[in-house]
A and B are shown apart, each in its own frame.
Chain A
Amino acid sequence: MDPQSQTTSLQRLENVEKRIVRVLELAGGVMEEMANPNGPRKDLVNSHCSEFMQSVKDIQMTLREEIKSACEYRPFEKCDYVPRISNEICCKKLEYVIVQLDEMKQTIEGYGDLA
Chain B
Amino acid sequence: ISLDKLPIKRLESIEEFGSERFPSDVDYDEKRVNLIRRIDFAWAVWQWKSLVENLQLAHQELSVIIDLINTVETNDAVTVAGMTRPKPLPNEHLSDLAVSTATKLQCFRSLGKYFKQSAKALEEQIAREARFYGALIRLQQNWKIKQHRGNEGFYIDLFDNSLYNSARPSMSTIPVEHDAAGMLTVNLPRKSCHTLQFEFLGGPAKDHANDDERVKEMHLTLREVHRAIHDEQVFDLVNREACNPSLRVNLTGIKENYLRLSIGQGSSVSISLVPSDEPNQLGFEIYLRQVFHEYAFVKAKNKNSNILGHFCMSIAHRIFSNKVLSLLENLTPYVRLISHPTWSRTSSWTLSMKIPQSILHAGRSQFWTKVVVIDDSISVEGEGAPSVVGLFKGKADGVSSINGYDSDLADLPIILLQQVASQIIQWLHEESLTVGIKATRDFLSLAFELEQGEIVRLVAHVDPEDTQGCISWWLTIDNGEEHKLHSYRKFLGYLSLDLLYSTLLDFLNLCS
Q: Give A residues with C-beta under 8 Å from B.
A: 10, 14, 17-18, 20-22, 24-25, 27-35, 37, 75-76, 79, 81-82, 84-86, 88-89, 92-93, 96, 99
Q: Residues of B contacting A28 with CB < 8 Å?
A: 111-116, 118-119
Considering the complex, give the chain A residue whose CB is closest to the CB of B137.
A10
Partner of A86, one of B108, B112, B113, B293: B293
Known A31-B111, A79-B162, A88-B227; judge A37-B105 contact (CB<8 A): yes
A35 vs B113: C-alpha distance when bound (angstroms): 11
Q: Which of B109, B122, B162, B227 is in CB contact (< 8 Å) with A21?
A: B122
Contacts of A10 in B (CB 8 A): 137
Instruction: Report which residue of A28, A79, A85, A88 has the largest number of chain B beta carbons within 10 angstroms of its beta carbon.
Output: A85
Task: Given A82-B163, A82-B298, verify A32-B112 contact (CB < 8 Å).
Answer: yes
Judging by beta carbons under 8 Å apart, are B119 and A31 in contact? no
User: B354 contacts the other chain (Cβ, under 8 Å)?
Assistant: no
**B283 and A82 form a contact (CB under 8 A):** no
**23 contacts across the A-B interface (CB closer than 8 A):** A10-B137, A18-B126, A21-B122, A24-B116, A28-B111, A28-B115, A28-B116, A28-B119, A30-B112, A31-B108, A32-B113, A32-B116, A35-B105, A35-B108, A79-B162, A82-B163, A85-B226, A86-B298, A92-B286, A93-B290, A96-B283, A96-B286, A99-B281
In angstroms, Cα B129 to Cα A20, docked, is 15
User: Shortest distance in angstroms between B281's beta carbon and chain A's nearest beta carbon?
Assistant: 7
Chain B residues near A92: list those with CB within 8 A.
285-286, 289
Given A24-B122, A34-B108, A96-B286; A85-B116 close (CB under 8 Å): no
A89 touches B113 (CB 8 A): no
On whether the beta carbons of A89 and B293 are closer than 8 Å, the reply is yes
A75:B144 contact, CB within 8 angstroms: yes
Provide the B91-121 mask, 1 if CB < 8 A to any CB of A, else 0: 0000000000000011011011111101100
User: Per-residue CB proximity of B339-382 to A under 8 Å, as 1/0?
Assistant: 00000000000000000000000000000000000000000000
Contact B227 A29 (CB under 8 A): no
Contacts beyond the supplied A22-B119, A31-B108, A89-B289: 7 A-B pairs with Cβ under 8 Å:
A18-B123, A18-B126, A28-B118, A35-B106, A37-B105, A79-B162, A82-B160
Interfacial residues of chain B within 125-139, with CB under 8 A of chain A in the complex? 126, 130, 137
Question: By the criterion CB–CB under 8 Å, are A21 and B160 in contact?
Answer: no
Nearest A residue (CB) for B297: A82
Of the residues B146, B226, B286, contact of A81 by C-beta under 8 Å: B226
Q: In the complex, which of the residues B113, B123, B226 contacts A84, with contact meaning CB atoms closer than 8 Å?
A: B226
Q: Is B461 an interface residue (CB 8 A)?
A: no
Would you call B230 an interface residue if the criterion is a C-beta within 8 Å of the partner chain's C-beta atoms? yes
Binding site for A on B (CB under 8 A): 105-106, 108-109, 111-116, 118-119, 122-123, 126, 130, 137, 142, 144, 146, 158-160, 162-163, 223, 226-227, 230, 281, 283, 285-286, 289-290, 293, 297-298
Interface Cβ pair total, 8 Å cutoff: 95
Contact in complex: B286, A20 (CB < 8 Å): no
- Do A79 and B106 touch across chains, with their CB atoms under 8 A apart? no
Evaluate contact between B123 and A88: CB separation under 8 angstroms. Answer: no
Which residues of chain B are within 8 angstroms of A17 by Cβ–Cβ distance?
122, 126
B105 touches A14 (CB 8 A): no
Q: Closest chain A residue to B118 by CB distance?
A: A24
Q: Which residue of B lies closest to A97 (CB)?
A: B283
| Shortest beta-carbon contacts, A-B, top 5 | A28-B115, A31-B112, A32-B112, A24-B119, A35-B108
Contacts of B113 in A (CB 8 A): 28, 32
Q: Closest CB-CB distance, A84 to chain B, in whole Å?
A: 7
**Inter-subunit contact B126/A25 (CB<8 Å):** no
Q: Provide the bound-state CA to CA distance between A24 and B144, in Å.
A: 37
Kindly report which residue of chain B lies nearest to residue A100, judged by CB atoms: B283
Q: Which of B112, B162, B226, B297 contacts A29 (CB 8 A)?
A: B112
Please measure, in the bound complex, the distance between the C-alpha atom of A37 and the C-alpha atom of B123, giving whole angstroms: 30
Q: Which residue of A lies closest to B298 (CB)?
A: A82
Chain B's nearest CB lies how many Å from the CB of A36?
Answer: 8
Contact call B160/A24, Cβ cutoff below 8 A: no
